[in-house]
Amino acid sequence: MGKTNLDLIRECDNFPYHEDNRAAYTETLNNYHAFRVNGFDATLGYILNSVVEKFPWPKSYWVIDSGAKTVTLNTPADATPEYRSKLVAESISEAVKADVFEVLRGWRNENYPVWGPGGQLILDMERCASPLFGIVSYGAHMTCYVQDEAGFKFWIPRRAKNKQTYPSMLDNTVAGGMCTNEKPFECIVREAMEEASLPESSIRSAIRPVGCVTYSHIRDARAGGETGLSQPEVEYVYDLKLEPKVIPKPGDNEVEEFNLLTVQEVQDALARGEFKPNCSVVIIDFFVRHGLLTPENDPDYLDILSRLHRRLEYPLASHC
């Protein structure tokens, strides 16, 4: 018996829901400290207790409150994002020197933003440190497909064997993380060129923004590094219908190969758990929007629809 669509979503959106099970929610939350920044009335992420213990927090600007279970960057309320980012970078650099976290060995040299209430940028930090702070991360995923009388076929890549995270698993055609100041659409165009060698001139006007998926993920061993880290995510979702003659090709060393799979082949691979968890979720969203997954063919339809769009309890990005 393979995994159901709801099983796949639960693997990705695996932080308990308060309304389903208050005890499980509270017990899970107790594993974390809230990450806060002075001047902002919001939890910006959840830091695993074991990370709070091991992280070499510089005492001059971090306040750890074990009773309230908070870790607060104690910068002046009118500090600039640049100043806050500098102190956080300094702190992460101390942790790298001490070599206390596996995830920090995978340095990316890309910065991820932390958003405050009202779509305000509070600070940014090195990408590989983001799951230590449990901040919301943002990405863009695109499904490239061909469509003829026989139905849909999907261009599905297999991740490189030597990728840090989820090696050899199946992926969405194009996917990437969004750095500070990057807009979702520009991110997906850049990634389409870099990862799938698709020519900008022909795809820019054909890429269709079709929504997003949101989920609250607790990392397991497949993500690499420490397990139990909280990683809430927003993935902006795009569709791109390709002419049969257009063939995506690996443009960097992140993808091993692209294959054109039928709906049935994709469904079978999903049921076998071959897709990276958040990529399953993006494909399920495609199936819903294109009438392949319906109220009449999946008993969990309504739960699936809501969980594809979890309401995240953090301030979120605004890109206008």
| Residues within the interface to a second copy (CB under 8 A) | 17-19, 119, 183-185, 208-212, 214, 234, 236, 288-291, 294-303, 305-313, 316-320
Output the smallest distance, CB 231 to a second copy, in A: 16
Q: Which two tokens stand for residue 220?
A: 């397991």
Output the smallest distance, CB 244 to a second copy, in A: 22
C-beta of 209 vs 228, nearer to a second copy = 209
Amino acid at 218: I
C-beta of 58 vs 119, nearer to a second copy = 119
Q: Decide: 256 and 250 in contact? Cβ < 8 Å.
A: yes
C-beta of 14 vs 93, nearer to a second copy = 14
Q: Which two tokens stand for residue 154?
A: 């999907």
CA–CA dist 269, 274 (Å, integer): 5
CA–CA dist 255, 155 (Å, integer): 12
Nearest to 34 by CA among 66, 4, 1: 66
C-beta of 170 vs 178, nearer to a second copy = 178
Q: Which residues contact 196 (CB under 8 A, 6 or more apart)?
A: 144, 155, 157, 173, 174, 248, 249, 250, 251, 255, 258
Output the smallest distance, CB 134 to a second copy, in A: 17
The secondary structure of 166-227, three-state, reads CCCCECCCEEEECCCCCCHHHHHHHHHHHHHCCCHHHHCCCCEEEEEEEEEEECCHHHCCCC
C-beta of 61 vs 215, nearer to a second copy = 215
Output the smallest distance, CB 91 to a second copy, in A: 28
C-beta of 35 vs 236, nearer to a second copy = 236
Say whether 5 sits in a helix, a strand or coil: helix
Output the smallest distance, CB 19 to a second copy, in A: 5
Q: Decide: 143 and 154 in contact? Cβ < 8 Å.
A: yes
Q: How far apart are the first and last CA of the chain?
A: 45
Output the smallest distance, CB 144 to a second copy, in A: 15
C-beta of 281 vs 308, nearer to a second copy = 308
Output the smallest distance, CB 242 to a second copy, in A: 16
